[in-house]
């Protein structure tokens, strides 16, 4: 694999958004809905999704909020992403399977580029190195009020809360970053209001997937 788009038959859908937006829940629901249609689905996540990338994940989502500089964080995310693509995403797509991913390269742009202030230039350079011209077929950006999202996130179990513990201004920049990404690439990105019940969010997601990927209702 060279980093340019492989010849794929499967579809690649990514779910993005700030903390507490409900991505993991909606990924499971979308996977079940597609599987019910007879589609072979792989679900994965970032950072992570391959053995090496999962090891890097532990370095990024735990520990003190300031343990890495923004540049170091972006490099770690990029290294994890390349391994994830080579070992999980590209092989699945080449075999005709659909891949649903909880976060992908837009999260690096939003978190490090916007949230931590690196800007778009460096992040775009790293993305080109890791991805070539490969992009998702559809990116669903779950948008939620910052206070609501953080409240939901605080109720989750587990210790992967390093980003959640960053200050409110960071999370506001993060939300604005995701919305700016969607404005820049409307053909790829669909913004979904996640500030409502899970069933309503699921209905909107299924409608977007059906319309944008030409699935019959």
CB distance 200 to 98 below 8 Å: no
Annotated binding residues = 17-24
What is the Cα–Cα distance from 43 to 192, expressed in whole angstroms?
Answer: 20
37 CB-contact burial (10 Å; exposed 0-12 / middle 13-18 / buried 19+): exposed
CA angle 30, 132, 173 (to 5 degrees): 60
CB distance 130 to 81 below 8 Å: yes
- Phi, psi values for residue 132, rounded to 5°: 60, -130
Annotated binding residues for ATP = 17-24
């Amino acid at each position: 694999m060279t980093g340019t788009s492989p010849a794929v038959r499967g579809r690649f859908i990514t779910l993005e958004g700030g903390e507490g937006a409900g991505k993991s829940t909606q990924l499971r629901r979308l996977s079940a809905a597609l599987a019910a249609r007879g589609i072979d689905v792989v679900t994965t996540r970032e950072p992570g999704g391959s053995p090496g990338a999962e090891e890097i994940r532990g370095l990024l989502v735990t520990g003190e909020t300031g343990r890495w500089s923004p540049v170091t964080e972006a490099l770690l995310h990029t290294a994890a992403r390349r391994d994830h693509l080579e070992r999980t995403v590209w092989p699945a797509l080449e075999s005709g399977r659909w891949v649903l991913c909880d976060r992908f390269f837009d999260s690096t742009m939003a978190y490090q580029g916007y949230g931590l202030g690196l800007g778009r230039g460096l992040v775009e350079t790293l993305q080109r190195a890791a991805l070539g011209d490969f992009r998702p077929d559809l990116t669903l950006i779950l948008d939620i009020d910052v206070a609501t999202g953080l409240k939901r996130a605080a109720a989750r179990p587990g210790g992967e809360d390093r980003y959640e513990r960053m200050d409110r201004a960071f999370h506001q920049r993060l939300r604005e970053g995701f919305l700016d990404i969607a404005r820049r690439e409307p053909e790829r990105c669909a913004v979904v209001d996640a500030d409502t019940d899970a069933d309503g969010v699921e209905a909107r997601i299924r409608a977007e997937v059906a319309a944008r990927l030409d699935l019959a209702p």
